[in-house]
Amino acid sequence: MDLLELSEQEIIRRESLKELRSLGIEPYPAALFPVNTNTVTIKDNYKPEENNFQEVVIAGRIMSRRIMGKAAFAELQDSEGKIQIYVNRDELCPGEDKTLYNTVFKRLLDIGDIIGVKGYAFVTQVGEKSIKVTELTILSKSIRPLPIVKEKEGKVYDAFTDPEQRYRQRYLDLIVNPDVKDTFIKRSKIINTMRNMFNERGYLEVETPILQSIPGGASARPFITHHNALNIPLYLRIANELYLKRLIVGGFDGVYEFAKDFRNEGMDRTHNPEFTVMEIYVAYKDYNWMMDFTEEMIERVAMALHGTTEVTVGDKTINFKAPFKRITMFDAIKEHTNIDISNMNEDELRKTCKELGVEIDDTMGKGKLVDEIFGEKCEGNYIQPTFITDYPIEMSPLCKRHRSNPELTERFELMVNGKELCNAYSELNDPIDQMGRFQDQLKLSEKGDDEAMFIDTDFVKSLEYAMPPTSGMGIGIDRLAMLMTNSPSIQDVLFFPQMRPEKKNDADSNSKFLELGIPEEWVSLVKKAGFTTIDKLKEANPNKLHQTICGLNKKHKLELQNPSADDVRAWLA
RNA sequence: GAUUCAGUAGCUCAGCUGGUAGAGCACAUCACUUUUAAUGAUGGGGUCCUGGGUUCGAACCCCAGCUGAAUCACCA
């Protein structure tokens, strides 16, 4: 790294690093550090009258410092929280040599450094539980300044808020914005709660292929890649449904997977190109059973996270207490439009869409028309958890026909806060019907629907060996996490949301500058002056370049022998 | 994809009608033994996102681009 590319603060920290080493202190020691407790345990359990926590060893990052002469306070942050430490010169350095306090602690350490301390708990005059430090070890020196966030009485000053920096440098976000950590701890708890419930019931957690030669199980545009050895295209999965159902054919009674799926579509507040879905399939069940199972699961998640079924989401309170409201799709449309579409044919549906002002196009079949009406007129109204049931058959090519109406399917979606959260079926296990439905998808595809499903003949073959009656359910984990943590954007529940790559530094390599006869020690100065490429340099005014780089030499006290104006002209010739 | 807004010091942000680049925190030096957004004094720190244009003169006006955000559209 070129010193001239660094800010003043970074240079000072690098010099501190050298000075530490010259004092015989390794800023990145190899040995373990024997931590015996943590900040929050001390804060929660220290009682001065019990005189406990009198030999504590903790480690963490220095988040603030208040130095006054022979005494200093600092805040140490570990994975659990923060605690104040008190460093007194004569307690840290009982002998004659006060270097560790005067030089190392006061001057060479910075906010952001990771240190270990040994000491004992006490309460300061203003009543704050603190650790008096008797030994101090540098564990890792930070050479880049951290964003400084200050806080007083719950009010945050100079918060680190720029979304671009927060997402690109999530580690900084986690260090300085403690609530962020909490969101991800909750996310993990959601998954664990679900996993525990499934395991209690004896269902098996499985893994299925992410690279698939036919991207099946959903309607979406896939990412495509290439396998060199096989010389075939492979797709990143858009769903894992067809593989999990093969496992039910294979004889497992319950299988589930927390899966990353990938869809090559737009990105916005609720869509990331890769996202997490949990899908579960249980043999000998139907979608009515699955509704009971789903509401129990979600209620349990809410209780595990919040200790109550009521969760605040934006300006709304959502109650996840089971049972949830259940309504058929046709009844939902009737409720919100006063129109009964249950007996309409395709032309009548088109007419109805026009009357309702729902935008449609010629590629849409009957199912898609119904879906459009629902999406436009109903979906947003279901704030409290609501099961929408019995979808038209055209929209659900993997779902079993309704037991009492062959135009419909035994399908439900769970709507919460106006958005779809779960999708579930009594799974289609009639292989001949399944093949016919795939062929209908092919027709839709020929009609221009670029999201119609591919035919997976191997999956149909598996059904021909007989799959037990099965119910399956999928739930978007990111969206569930958004609801349960009151996060308005999917980016807030993904550690590393997809971002456009940062623009590249287009500087030419130093060797190209050397070829022009520029001495090595001057190349970085030329770049610092703004001439980062040879092309830019060729257009430079030699006199101005000469003055600029000589100025930089002086300014940064590099004490190089200045080149003559003729030398500079020769570089540009 | 459309529209709007934003990009200035390590961080958060000012910057008037176009006239020498500003503050707080952070950093450096000094003072200070229980502070807590510590304090006081002094000081250093800038590719004003990038590239063009207009102008005697651009952080500011115009054009193009990059990145992000919001709204809408698309999308199980």
What's the burial of A88, exposed, middle or buried (CB within 10 Å: 0-12/13-18/19+)?
middle
A335 Cβ neighbours under 8 A, 6+ residues apart: A327, A378
Q: How far is the CA of A89 from the C1' of B43 (A)?
A: 27
- Chain segment A305-340, per-residue pLDDT in tens: 999 999 999 888 999 998 999 999 999 999 988 889
Decide if pLDDT at A22 tops 90. Answer: yes
**Closest nucleotide to residue A413 (Cα to C1')?**
B76
- The rounded distance, in Å, linking the Cα atoms of A334 and A388 is 13
Q: What is the pLDDT at residue A331?
A: 93
- Contact of A436 with A395, CB cutoff 8 Å: no
Is the CB of A121 within 7 Å of strand B?
A: no
Q: In chain A, which residues from 167 to 186 place their CB closer than 7 Å to nucleic acid strand B?
A: 167
Residue A411 CA, nucleotide B19 C1', distance (Å):
71
Looking at every residue in chain A, the average pLDDT score rounds to 88
Q: What percent of chain A has pLDDT over 90?
A: 61
Buried b (16+ CB within 10 A) or exposed e, A23-49: eebebeeeeeeeeebbbebbbeebeee
- Looking at residue A75, its pLDDT comes to 94
The amino acid at residue A303 is M
pLDDT at A356: 83
Which nucleotide is closest to A9, CA to C1'? B27
pLDDT in tens, A471-488: 999 999 999 999 999 998
Comparison of pLDDT for A364 and A1, the residue scoring more: A364
Question: What DSSP string describes A236-252?
Answer: E-S--HHHHHHHHHTT-
DSSP of A434-453:
HHHHHHHHHHHHHHT-TTPP
Nucleic strand B contacts from chain A, 319-338, CB < 7 Å: none
Q: Report in angstroms the alpha-carbon separations of A490 from A52, A131, A480, A482.
A: 44, 39, 10, 7
A411-448 residue pLDDT tens = 999 999 988 999 999 999 999 999 999 998 888 778 77
* Distance between the alpha carbon (CA) of A9 and the C1' atom of B28, Å: 9
**Is pLDDT of A510 > 90?**
no
CA atom of A436 to C1′ atom of B57, Å: 76
What span, in angstroms and rounded, lies between the C-alpha atoms of A240 and A508?
46
- What are the tokens at A549? 């780089």
User: Shortest CA–C1' contact from A539: which nucleotide?
Assistant: B51
- The residue whose CA lies nearest the C1' of nucleotide B26 is A148
Q: What is the pLDDT of residues A294-306, one digit of tens each?
A: 999 999 999 999 9
Angle at the Cα of A289 from the Cα atoms of A285 and A292, rounded to 5 degrees: 150
pLDDT, tens digit, 9 for 90 and up, residues A340-359:
988 888 888 888 888 888 87
Q: Is the CB of A396 less than 7 A from some atom of nucleic acid strand B? A: yes
DSSP bridge pairs for A473: A280, A424
Q: Which of the nucleotides lies closest to A528 (Cα–C1')? A: B47
Q: Nearest nucleotide (C1') to the CA of residue A151? A: B37
Region of A158 please: left (phi>0), alpha (psi -120 to 50) or beta. left
Residues 125-164 of chain A within 7 A of strand B, judged by CB, are 125-128, 130, 132, 145-152, 157-164
At A224, give phi and psi (nearest 5°).
Answer: -120, 145
Name the helix (H) or strand (E) containing A114: strand A114-123
Q: How far apart are CA A343 and CA A223, in angstroms?
A: 39
Nearest to A79 by CA among A166, A187, A218, A174: A174
Complex ipTM value: 0.86
**In the 86-115 stretch of chain A, whose C-beta falls under 7 Å of nucleic acid strand B?**
86, 88, 90, 107, 110-111
Nearest Cα to A254, choosing from A194, A206, A288? Answer: A206
B25 nearest neighbour residue (CA to C1'): A148
Q: Which nt has its C1' nearest the CA of A420?
A: B76
A17 touches strand B (CB under 7 A): no
Nucleotides of chain B in contact with protein CB (under 7 A) are 1, 9-13, 24-29, 31-39, 44-45, 47, 51, 66-76
pLDDT of residue A552: 65
What pLDDT, on the 0 to 100 scale, is given for residue A1?
42
| Per-residue buried b or exposed e for A540-572, using 16+ beta carbons within 10 Å of the residue's own CB | bebeebbebbbebbeeeeeeeeebeeeebeebb
Q: What is the mean pLDDT of residues A190-206?
A: 97
Reported residue count of chain A is 573
Name the nucleotide nearest A107; use CA and C1': B28
**Whole-number distance in Å between A216 CA and B2 C1':** 32
In order, the DSSP letters of A43-74 are: HHH--GGGT---SEEEEEEEEEEEEETTEEEE
Pick A192 or A159 by higher pLDDT.
A192
Residues 413-432 of A with CB under 7 A from strand B: 420, 423
pLDDT level of residue A566 (50, 70, 90 thresholds): confident
Predicted TM-score (pTM) of this structure:
0.88
Nearest nucleotide to A491, CA against C1' atoms: B69
Distance A145 CA to B20 C1' (A): 30
Helix axes A477-485, A178-200, angle to 10 degrees: 120
Q: Is the peptide bond before A519 cis (omega within 30 degrees of 0)?
A: no
CB neighbour list of residue A21: distance below 8 Å, 6 or more residues apart: A27
pLDDT tens-place string over residues A52-74: 999 999 999 999 999 988 999 99
Q: Of residues 456 to 475 in chain A, which lie within 7 A of strand B by their beta carbon?
A: 474
**Side chain identity, residue A161:** T
Mind listing the pLDDT tens digit for each residue in A101-122? 999 999 999 999 999 999 999 9
- Say if residue A290's pLDDT is above 80: yes
Residues whose CB falls within 8 Å of the CB of residue A158, separated by 6 or more in sequence, listed in order: A147, A148, A149, A150
CA of A512 to C1' of B1 (A): 41
A489 Cβ within 7 A of any nucleic strand B atom: yes
Residues 18-57 of A with CB under 7 A from strand B: none
